[in-house]
């Protein structure tokens, strides 16, 4: 029976991915910055673990508590919507701390055991914002694009040890907590000069031709984790698949 460690499982894609792996018979370690036992079924194959990907001590404690894992899914991330001109660099760095350095740090901590066993996979969840330019998410897109480059290079390194690295690129998911997870970071990021443009942009988001559901992402993460080909990119959701096809 295989074991998966998934970060960012309190809601959205991470939560559904934890449920999906569990339904497939895996042992699931669902990590959260603030653990919530009530969002997942009670099972001897499922553990909720505290993990803040921005804190080295939290990462070390979590990896030690996990024991052997077969797959790492880096899903934890924070969103940001606003004009780049108005975005403080401290906020940009905060986004990168979670979306980039957090992913790298957790991956680095998990790799030794995968390399030594010469098996397993790392699946990094990014965004369809990497597939086509989108307005008012410049810093967020930069963070996700950084992980795309990181994972592509990592895949080549790990292939030497029969360990795989994959990218899952979800589309627009209105059912996720993107805005809620952005929190106070979004305050003041739409100055008056950008107000009209931001209003039109938000209106277009409210009328998408297709959207991505958490179950779409969970199923693709599951497929990517088991894929033994050299494929790197896995679009998740009808809108992401369409963007990937046109890229």
Q: Is the dihedral of CA 208, 151, 58, 137 positive or negative?
A: negative
With beta carbons less than 8 A apart as the criterion, state whether 217 and 18 touch: no
Q: How far apart are alpha carbons 75 and 152 in whole angstroms?
A: 17
Number of Cα atoms under 13 Å in the Cβ half of residue 205: 19
Using an 8 Å Cβ cutoff, are 145 and 43 in contact? no
How far is residue 210's CA from residue 197's CA, in Å, rounded to a whole number? 22
The tokens for 64 are 């030690």
Q: Identify the active-site residue in 13, 140, 172, 194.
A: 140
Task: Tell me how far CA of residue 131 lies from CA of 36, 77, 84, in angstroms.
Answer: 33, 18, 19
Helix, coil or strand: residue 137:
coil
Residue 140 bears catalytic tag: yes
Active site residues: 140
């Amino acid at each position: 029976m295989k074991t998966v460690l998934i970060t960012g499982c309190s809601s959205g894609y991470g939560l559904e991915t934890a449920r999906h792996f569990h339904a497939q018979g895996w042992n699931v370690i669902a990590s959260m910055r603030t653990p919530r036992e009530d969002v997942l079924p009670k099972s001897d194959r499922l553990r909720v673990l505290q993990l803040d990907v921005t804190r080295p001590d939290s990462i070390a404690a979590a990896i030690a508590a996990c024991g052997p894992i077969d797959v790492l899914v880096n899903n934890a991330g924070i969103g940001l919507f606003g004009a780049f001109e108005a975005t403080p660099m401290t906020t940009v760095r905060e986004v990168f701390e979670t979306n980039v350095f957090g992913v790298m740090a957790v991956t680095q901590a998990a790799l030794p055991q995968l390399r030594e066993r010469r098996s397993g996979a790392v699946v990094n969840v990014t965004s369809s914002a990497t597939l086509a330019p989108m307005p008012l998410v410049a810093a967020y897109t930069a963070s996700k694009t950084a992980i795309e480059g990181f994972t592509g290079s990592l895949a080549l390194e790990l292939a030497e040890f029969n360990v795989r690295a994959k990218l899952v690129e979800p589309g627009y998911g209105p059912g996720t907590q993107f805005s809620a997870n952005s929190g106070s970071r979004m305050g003041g990021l739409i100055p008056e000069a950008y107000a009209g443009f931001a209003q039109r942009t938000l209106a277009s988001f409210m009328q998408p031709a297709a959207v991505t559901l958490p179950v779409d992402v969970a199923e693709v993460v599951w497929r990517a984790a088991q894929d033994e080909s050299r494929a790197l990119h896995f679009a998740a959701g009808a809108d992401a698949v369409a963007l990937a096809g046109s890229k």
